[in-house]
A and B are shown apart, each in its own frame.
Chain A
């Protein structure tokens, strides 16, 4: 079974340009997460989706970041305009959702490494 797929794997842009990242979760996973991982740091949650609904976006800088998950499957994270400080790895993860809320393991994609010049 395929894991979480992210593209592109690497992206280099100039500041003030827009950029978008795409994530395809594991089939059947209702919950999708976007994390930001700065160099030398652990991942930090940006946004969490339950199906197509963003249920936790408190850490998403909404002035320049946006995300969508149309039809509750694939998701896109966008930055417009990008700043130098946005250089980081953007990780997508997915897990089974709904039903029993005990715990659902998060499976991570390889990430997109963004460099803003």
Chain B
């Protein structure tokens, strides 16, 4: 069964600084990987996904993530954080063969200081 670890529960950055959120996964084969963002009182919004091919994927809102098979990681990055990026971020892994089951990490809460 697949699993996801997000080592950082809470991260604080200053507006304009760069950001990296860590995600490690466990799965027997190459998985589907996702990053979602959740603002307070809102549902989850998909930021980006990796299925295969280029290991650096671009998403919405200026985010990108890099799949590293050797490290079982799929870290999310943004070169310059905006105050509106403050939210909770979830990494998720899905098994090949469809989106039937997504397993989410516990999330990383991002605070952005002015």
Contact = CB atoms under 8 A, between A and B. Distances in A.
Interface of A: 3-4, 9, 31, 40-45, 48, 55-56, 91, 93, 95, 101-106, 108-111
Interface residues of B, number: 25
Contacts of B94: 103
A48 B100 CA distance: 8
Nearest to A44: B104
A42 B51 contact: no
B102 A101 contact: no
B113 to A, nearest CB: 22
A111 B101 contact: no
Nearest to B107: A42
B43 A42 contact: no
A12 B36 CA distance: 28
B106 interface: yes
Contacts of A40: 9, 106-107
B76 interface: no
